[in-house]
Structure 1
Amino acid sequence: MYYEGKIYRPWMEANSLLIQTTLGCTHNKCTFCDMFREKRFRIRKIEEIFKDIDRARQTFPHIRSIFLIDGNVLALKTGFLLKILDKVTETFPECAKIALYAGLNDLRRKSVEELKELKRAGLTLAYTGLESGDPVTLERIKKGLTPEQAEKGMARAKAAGIDLLASIIFGIGGRDRSREHIVETTRLLNVMKPEQIAPMALTIQPGTELAKQVESGEFIQATPLQILEEEKYLLENLSGFETIYRGDHANNIVSSKGILPESRELFIGKIDHAIANHPVTEHDVLMTSPW
């Protein structure tokens, strides 16, 4: 297999075959992210992608899950992506899941019929970074996304039958905007109703614009207690839909994974216990490991 540069995949895709389809990210401006700083976005030649798929078939007798990398792969033209999906399903008929990274704007820019074609070709799940539903926070972190655009992207995915995992970041609003961030994020999630939600505590990545803002004092990190309170608010106020809650990222103070609303009270109980007893609540900031 051929991989160029640093490779990232969601923690849920640890057992998936990774096929590098694009390099970098079309946006690549988020203040908190350094995943693709050293890469300029480009599309790999289809011959190279097919060669990797064939090599993987020779190496692995059984592939159940495939994840297409790098960043927002859904930015590819639909016809090009259909060729890749067709090649994957022909080569790995046993594969039960094909997932990729996708910006909500990428979903919004495709027609429902295009997305339905991708669904029919085997695409089952799109991972997308919502991060926040607060328009002020989204602008501060240079996400290049508005809540209204997020809603439209989600609506198109639902119309096409493509499941969506939305990631959000506890603490991304900072100390001064913690409440607004989580209230608006919860409100937006209740509108979008994603099939999966993956929350994670903010990590300050060295060398990012956000890291420089922390150093200068422009961005004051949320306290660990605020981060726990954000998660409690989210769990208490998500309503009207069933979703898989993947709050088991390594940087989270409390690890919770299960179905909501079924596991709501269990998860809230864990948060309440942490608020009352976890020594991290006495700290000024949450120390987390870079990705």
Structure 2
Amino acid sequence: MRYEGKVYRPWPEADSILIQTTLGCSNNQCTFCNMFSDKRFKIRELEDIFSDIEQARKIHAHVESIFLIDGNVMAVRTEFLLAILNKITETFPEIQNIALYAGFNDFRRKTVAELKQMRAAGLTMAYAGLESGDPIVLDNIKKAMKPEHAIEGMAMAKEAGIKVLASFIFGLGGRHRSKEHIKATTDILNIMQPEEIAPMAIAIQPGTELEQQVVRGEFVMPSPLQVLEEEKYLLENLADFDCYYWGDHGNNISPMRGMLPQARVPFKDRIEHEIATNPVTKQDIIQTFSW
């Protein structure tokens, strides 16, 4: 197995085999992220990807889950992705799940027919960064996406039968746009209704543009209390659609996960308990760790 540069995968994919399909991220300008600052976006040679798939077969007797890395693999042309998916299902007939990173705009750049082809070829899940539903926050972080783009991309994925995990960041609006950020994010999630969501508390990554904004005082970090209040608002105002809540990121003040809406009340009660009793709420700025 060959990997170039830093390798990332979502925490729900801890047990998956990783197959590097692209290098880096085609956007690679988000102010809060430096995951792929060490490489330019590039699509690996198909024969090299096939070789890694074959090598994985030699190493692992039974594989049920594979995750395609690096960044937005969905940006690759459809025929190329179909070849990889077909190679995986031929090599691992026991495979149950194939997932990848995607941008909501990547869905929009395909047709629904193409997305359905990928689903038929074995693609089950896409991890897409929503980050925020607030257009001002999205502009500030240079996401190169508008809220309506996320809504459109999600609808196309749903029509194709591809499940989506939408990730977003508590505190990304900073101290002064916390309420607008979480309200807009909750509103857009209620429209999109992804099958899974993964909220995580803001963390300043060393060397990012956001770090410099913090140093210059242009971005003021939220307090732990604001982050908890954002999560409370989200849990109180999400519509009653079936959704798995991956709220157990290591930076979250009260990590928890489970099925919504069934777990809404105990989750909300837990956040309210944290707000009332956790000493961290007395701190002025949330302390989190880089990824």
Bucket of the pairwise TM-score, normalised by the shorter protein = over 0.9
Residue equivalent to 1:222? 222
Per the alignment, in what secondary structure is the counterpart of residue 67 of structure 2? strand
Residue equivalent to 2:134? 134
Ranges of 4+ aligned residues in structure 1 off by more than 2 Å: none
Q: Please tell me whether the aligned partners of residues 242 and 259 of structure 2 are also in contact (alpha carbons under 8 angstroms).
A: yes
Q: Please tell me whether the aligned partners of residues 126 and 163 of structure 2 are also in contact (alpha carbons under 8 angstroms).
A: yes
Cα deviation 1:83-125 (Å, max 9, x = unaligned): 0000000001111000000000001111000000000000000
Residue equivalent to 1:190? 190
1:233-272, aligned counterparts within 5 Å? 233-272=233-272
Residue equivalent to 1:288? 288
In structure 2, C-alpha distance between the alignment counterparts of 1:236 and 1:242, rounded to whole Å? 15
1:18-29, aligned counterparts within 5 Å? 18-29=18-29
1:42-61, aligned counterparts within 5 Å? 42-61=42-61
Report the Cα offset of residue 178 of structure 1: 0.1
1:100-139, aligned counterparts within 5 Å? 100-139=100-139
| Unpaired runs of at least 5, structure 1 | none
Aligned-partner residue type, residue 167 of structure 2: S
Report the Cα offset of residue 288 of structure 1: 1.0
In structure 2, C-alpha distance between the alignment counterparts of 1:40 and 1:233, rounded to whole Å? 38
1:81-96, aligned counterparts within 5 Å? 81-96=81-96
Aligned-partner residue type, residue 244 of structure 2: I
In structure 2, C-alpha distance between the alignment counterparts of 1:216 and 1:284, rounded to whole Å? 18
Identity in percent = 62
How many residue pairs end up in the alignment? 291
Residue equivalent to 2:158? 158
Aligned-partner residue type, residue 152 of structure 1: E
Per the alignment, in what secondary structure is the counterpart of residue 127 of structure 1? strand
Residue equivalent to 1:277? 277
In structure 2, C-alpha distance between the alignment counterparts of 1:186 and 1:12, rounded to whole Å? 22
In structure 2, C-alpha distance between the alignment counterparts of 1:62 and 1:265, rounded to whole Å? 39
Report the Cα offset of residue 285 of structure 1: 1.1
- The TM-score normalised by the length of structure 1 is 0.99
| Unpaired runs of at least 5, structure 2 | none
Report the Cα offset of residue 261 of structure 1: 0.6
Report the Cα offset of residue 182 of structure 1: 0.2
Per the alignment, in what secondary structure is the counterpart of residue 126 of structure 1? strand
In structure 2, C-alpha distance between the alignment counterparts of 1:70 and 1:253, rounded to whole Å? 28
Aligned-partner residue type, residue 83 of structure 2: K
Cα deviation 1:173-226 (Å, max 9, x = unaligned): 000000000000000000000000000000100100000000110000111000
Q: Please tell me whether the aligned partners of residues 3 and 20 of structure 2 are also in contact (alpha carbons under 8 angstroms).
A: yes
Residue equivalent to 2:78? 78
Report the Cα offset of residue 155 of structure 1: 0.5
In structure 1, C-alpha distance between the alignment counterparts of 2:181 and 2:24, rounded to whole Å? 28
In structure 1, C-alpha distance between the alignment counterparts of 2:105 and 2:37, rounded to whole Å? 20
Report the Cα offset of residue 279 of structure 1: 1.0
Aligned-partner residue type, residue 228 of structure 2: L
Aligned-partner residue type, residue 29 of structure 1: Q
Residue equivalent to 2:176? 176
In structure 1, C-alpha distance between the alignment counterparts of 2:230 and 2:109, rounded to whole Å? 31
Per the alignment, in what secondary structure is the counterpart of residue 123 of structure 1? coil
Per the alignment, in what secondary structure is the counterpart of residue 275 of structure 2? helix
Cα deviation 1:21-73 (Å, max 9, x = unaligned): 00000000100000001110000000000000001100100111000000000
Aligned-partner residue type, residue 89 of structure 2: T
Per the alignment, in what secondary structure is the counterpart of residue 74 of structure 1? helix
Report the Cα offset of residue 240 of structure 1: 3.5
Per the alignment, in what secondary structure is the counterpart of residue 124 of structure 2? strand
In structure 1, C-alpha distance between the alignment counterparts of 2:51 and 2:9, rounded to whole Å? 21
In structure 2, C-alpha distance between the alignment counterparts of 1:280 and 1:44, rounded to whole Å? 45
In structure 2, C-alpha distance between the alignment counterparts of 1:198 and 1:128, rounded to whole Å? 10
